[in-house]
Amino acid sequence: IADEISPAVEALVQVAPMPDNRGLAGASLGGLMSFYGVWTRNDAFRLVGAQSASLFWNDGDMIDRVELGPMIPARVYLDSGSPGDNWDFGRLMADALRSRGYEYQHLVEEGGQHEWPFWAGRFDELLDFLF
């Protein structure tokens, strides 16, 4: 994405090339991948949009990276439904972000499910916070 897709898009349309204005967003495993992309390619992306992110993956490795790894310039939107819908690991990630001093927003939708209609219903909040 950083090395091929972003330059191709920039060749077609005018976009802000600065990493502070670029982000990755996704739901479920896409939310986990968005965290991973920003944490591993912070030279290209600094905004994370993670909806119902699968942060339990690999024994919570991404939470450990945020909590124990070096600080990086990043801004994070994190949400989930409740109960279920990965909210417990979302809460752990929010705790890690808060303890490290990251700028973030954590939203929990009571009764929200791990399904597209719920993610779509919260997508405006993601965009409003990140942009």
Residue 17 has pLDDT above 80, yes or no: no
Residue 115: DSSP 8-state: S
**Total-model pTM:** 0.92
The model's confidence at residue 10, banded by pLDDT at 50, 70 and 90, is confident
For residues 1-8, average pLDDT: 89
Residue 104 has pLDDT above 90, yes or no: yes
SS (H, E, C) 61-128: HHHHHHHHCCCCCCEEEEEEEECCCCHHHHHHHHHHHHHHCCEEEEEEEECCCCCHHHHHHHHHHHHH
